[in-house]
Amino acid sequence: MDPIVIYFSDFQPNFNTIARGLKIKAGSSTAKDLLNLVTEARNVAKPKAIFTITSIDKMDNQIVHLNGIGFRSQVLSTNLEGVHRSFPYIATCGIELDSWKNSFNDIITRYFADFITGLALEKAVEGLFKQIKQEYGLKKTATMNPGSLEDWPLQAQTSLFSLLGSPEKTIGVSLTDSLLMIPRQSVSGILFETETDFVNCQLCPRQGCPNRRAPYNKSVAKKYLR
């Protein structure tokens, strides 16, 4: 199927929630500056996402073919065993909010703006997953993201982007020469139905990661990386 683009026009960042997250004291001059930023962000933000549905053509314990495109990953192959379709996706805060954030030279202001763009990305991801689950009757799901595991490095970004047509034209997300996404507040991956509680972080022993969503689990890692 052709990729589907979703726009999230209802992004309304809450000032009080953001102020608490940034530990800004109510009534301070900094709080007033933050309120102005939140108001600007509401007017500018256009978070969005793109996804498609792929067949799982064939696989072995190392390579999975989605719509004829191969992905080398033992973990992905294990996760998709017995699964008949997957949902590659990209979600982003949007080039509009990214350009707004990058217009600030002051380090503190840029930090606040980056915090807000992160919330826009969260909105896009949550909205995307909710729509996919509702439209396609998915129950329990999990995701894998290129570059999150040594077993599935950033090189997979190129193939994932090709499954989604031209993301730079449709949602404004491009890849750098080092395979990082622009805008930076973007995320790519494959959503799939599962009966397990798989989370990428369970297989990663790296310490001090600020984005960790689950503790490293040695026994789970042995299961997938046998």
Q: How many CB atoms neighbour CB 162 within 10 A?
A: 13
**Look-up: residue for tokens 């549905």?**
53
Task: Please tell me whether the peptide bond between 183 and the residue prior to it is cis, using omega within 30 degrees of 0.
Answer: yes
Rounded mean pLDDT of 111-123? 96
With beta carbons less than 8 A apart as the criterion, state whether 52 and 4 touch.
yes
The angle that helices 107-136 and 29-44 make with each other, rounded to 10 degrees, is: 40
Angle at 141 between CA 64 and CA 46, to 5 degrees: 95
The tokens for 155 are 């090189």
Please tell me the pTM assigned to this model: 0.90
With beta carbons less than 8 A apart as the criterion, state whether 60 and 128 touch.
no
Helix (H, G, I), strand (E, B) or coil at 122: helix
Write the pLDDT tens digit of every residue in 23-64: 999 889 999 999 999 999 999 999 999 999 999 887 777 899
Would you kindly state where each structural domain of the chain is located, as residue ranges? Answer: 4-195, 199-226
Write the pLDDT tens digit of every residue in 157-181: 999 999 999 999 999 999 999 999 9
CATH number of the structural domain 4-195? 3.40.109.40
Residue 172, Ramachandran bin (φ over 0: left; ψ between -120 and 50: alpha; else beta) = left
**Look-up: residue for tokens 């696989």?**
59
Task: Answer whether residue 18 shows pLDDT above 90.
Answer: yes
